[in-house]
Amino acid sequence: MLELTVEDWQRTLTVNTVGVFLAVKHTVPHFTQQGFGAILCTASVAALRANAGGVDYSASKAGVVSIVQTVAYQLYGTGVRINAICPGLIETGMTKPIFDRARGKGSDDRIGQINPTKRYGQPQEIGQMACFLLSDRASYVNGQAVPVDGGLSASHPWVFPRA
């Protein structure tokens, strides 16, 4: 945290939080006019628990969760729902350095080991939850931050038992 600059904070907040605000702001009028719709924002498990990201990243993603919760009530009675998906460690372009470093050390079998599933996630697992949250099957899910993190956010950090 001490090494972060104001510029670092502004860049992270602009992309992760202001970007979500603008997308929601410009989507809501269309959905409210038609009387239905579902908005899905991308937050992170870092918004829900400590040590899943840097302080600027975590704060920006917590801001996304707050936007979702607040806007859900501002859309009261409109037929429009809004939720956030909170991915855990997923192998993506953003996390590539983590995976590359672990593979370089020969410790890639340890990636995701602190999750109850004992593994990291795949992008399609996030996509499957996104499809659900945007579908009519999730018609009673609103204002929620849904973790898809292998169970990481279900508990406080702990040391897994050795076999």
Considering 57, 76, 120, 140, which one is annotated as catalytic?
Answer: 57
Phi, psi of 125 (to 5 degrees): -70, -35
H helix and E strand count, the chain: 5, 3
Paired residues of 54 in beta bridges:
none
* Residue pair 83/40 in contact by the 8 Å Cβ criterion: yes
Residues present in the chain in total: 163
Q: Could you say which DSSP state residue 162 is in?
A: P
Instruction: Confirm whether 57 is a catalytic residue.
Output: yes
Decide: 60 and 16 in contact? Cβ < 8 Å: yes
- 90 within 8 A of 122, measured Cβ to Cβ: yes
Q: Tell me if 151 sits within 8 A of 119, measured CB to CB.
A: no
- Token pair 């801001």 is found at 63
Indicate which residues carry an active-site annotation: 57
